[in-house]
């Protein structure tokens, strides 16, 4: 059984600073933890477009930024109208972190 990909979906609008901060936070986190691109899909959904609104409606998004973290369709985390705190979501990525990136004490 191969490793399953984790999906990170950020809902927002292009001019929203909190939305940009949320995307940057995940980009920085994934880079710092050296998580391979093949293991995580980070997507931004523009709530000013039909596609973004449709996807947002599926997740009942009414405030931005909103973030959904899923694995195999199972929702692991959901933040609504706030920028997630790293320590609240990093547990979902522990198993994806390469051994080389983990500090050995």
Judged by average pLDDT, the poorest of 2-6, 22-26, 50-54, 92-96 is 2-6
Computed over every residue of the chain, the mean pLDDT equals 91
Is residue 42's pLDDT more than 60? yes
Contact of 25 with 83, CB cutoff 8 Å: yes
Is residue 26's pLDDT more than 80? yes
Residue 1 lies in a domain: no
Residue 105 lies in a domain: no
Confidence of residue 4 (pLDDT cuts 50, 70, 90): confident
- pTM score of the predicted model: 0.89
d(CA 69, CA 24) in angstroms, rounded, equals 15
The closest alpha carbon to 69, from 4, 21, 16, belongs to 4
Total number of domains in the chain? 1
Contact of 67 with 23, CB cutoff 8 Å: no
Residues 65-90 pLDDT 10s:
999 999 998 999 999 999 999 999 99
Is residue 63's pLDDT more than 60? yes
What's the CATH number where 73 sits? 3.40.30.10
The closest alpha carbon to 58, from 71, 72, 73, belongs to 73
Confidence of residue 105 (pLDDT cuts 50, 70, 90): very low
Residue 61 lies in a domain: yes
Structural domain boundaries, residue 96: 6-100
């Amino acid at each position: 059984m191969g490793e399953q990909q984790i999906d990170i979906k950020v809902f927002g609008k292009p001019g929203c600073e909190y939305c940009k901060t949320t995307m940057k936070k995940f980009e920085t986190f994934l880079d710092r933890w050296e998580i391979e691109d093949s293991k995580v899909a980070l997507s931004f959904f523009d709530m000013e477009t039909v596609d973004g609104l449709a996807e947002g409606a599926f997740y009942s998004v009414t405030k931005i930024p909103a973030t959904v973290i899923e694995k195999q369709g199972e929702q692991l985390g959901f933040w609504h109208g706030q920028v997630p705190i790293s320590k609240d979501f990093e547990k979902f990525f522990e198993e994806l972190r390469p051994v080389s990136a983990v500090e050995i004490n």
